[in-house]
Amino acid sequence: MLAKRIIPCLDIKDGRTVKGVNFVDLRDAGDPVELAEIYSKEGADELVFLDISATEQKRKTLADLVYHVAEKVNIPFTVGGGISSVEDVDILLQNGADKVSINSSAVKNPKLINDLVAKFGSQCIVVAIDAKQIDGEWIVHLVGGRVPTERKLFEWAKEVEARGAGEILFTSMDHDGTKDGFANRALAKLSDELTIPIIASGGAGNIQHFTDTFKEGKADAALAASVFHFKEIKIRDLKKELQKEGVTVRI
């Protein structure tokens, strides 16, 4: 069985790591390069960096950050935020990123997924999907969760897979930052209906939540931010507990 992955997520705003609740009320959580190095040493399997303030003017800043992170860590890392072209991805991969994550740009131009896969291969293309429940239906949202679309989570996820993406990073906006646990029912349905790996995001508050999302949510990886940034959970302790619960992880 493939090992389940633990992935700290670093939301970047103006060059700093930040964390909020339900995508708002951001607070500073430290220097992203320093945090990346710490997590790499502590046993994280991968890292995700999301530039939540990304604009065209800041693309060079993000590329510089990627370069400095690549100098310090020896685990794979994914970068996302405002990526909308083959050129954007080329720059980030050349500076040391292993994968890129696209979100709004994929919804607005689904062919972008095909283009990126054709150029760089599916293994380095992650499609992030932010969704929340409205009248019992999971609805895809854009712009950091502020703009609802007509896309429904499961239909869009299937299209993403069909277009060649290598992974899906699913964030439940209803759970984000709440520390009440992951959206395991939706995650399990995604895992049942798709063949590509699903990364769970949104809601980690304790070690049991990780166990639950691997067992009940059938997630391939679990991503979290504040519980790691503010040292509420240590990655080594988390992996030891997961192993005790019969979850296959790399120690």
**Structural contact between residues 53 and 76, judged by C-beta atoms closer than 8 angstroms:** no
Question: Is 174 marked active-site?
Answer: no
Catalytic one of 11, 51, 88, 212: 11
Question: Is 45 marked active-site?
Answer: no
Question: From the CB of residue 12, how many other CB atoms can be counted at a distance below 10 Å?
Answer: 22
Question: Which pair of structure tokens corresponds to residue 170?
Answer: 């699913």
Q: What single letter denotes the amino acid at residue 45?
A: D
User: With b meaning 16 or more CB within 10 Å and e meaning fewer, what string describes 178-199?
Assistant: ebebbbbebbbbbbeebebbbb
What single DSSP character describes residue 122? Answer: G
Catalytic one of 130, 176, 212, 220: 130
What single DSSP character describes residue 157? Answer: H
Q: Is 135 exposed, middle or buried (0-12, 13-18, 19+ CB in 10 A)?
A: exposed
Q: Which long-range contacts (CB under 8 A, 24 or more apart) does 206-210 make?
A: 206/179, 206/233, 207/233, 207/237, 207/238, 207/241, 207/242, 209/179, 209/181, 209/182, 210/6, 210/238, 210/242
Question: From the CB of residue 165, how many other CB atoms can be counted at a distance below 10 Å?
Answer: 24
Q: What single letter denotes the amino acid at residue 67?
A: Y
Q: Compute the distance between CA of residue 27 and CA of residue 190 in angstroms, rounded to an integer.
A: 31
Which residues form the catalytic set? Answer: 11, 130
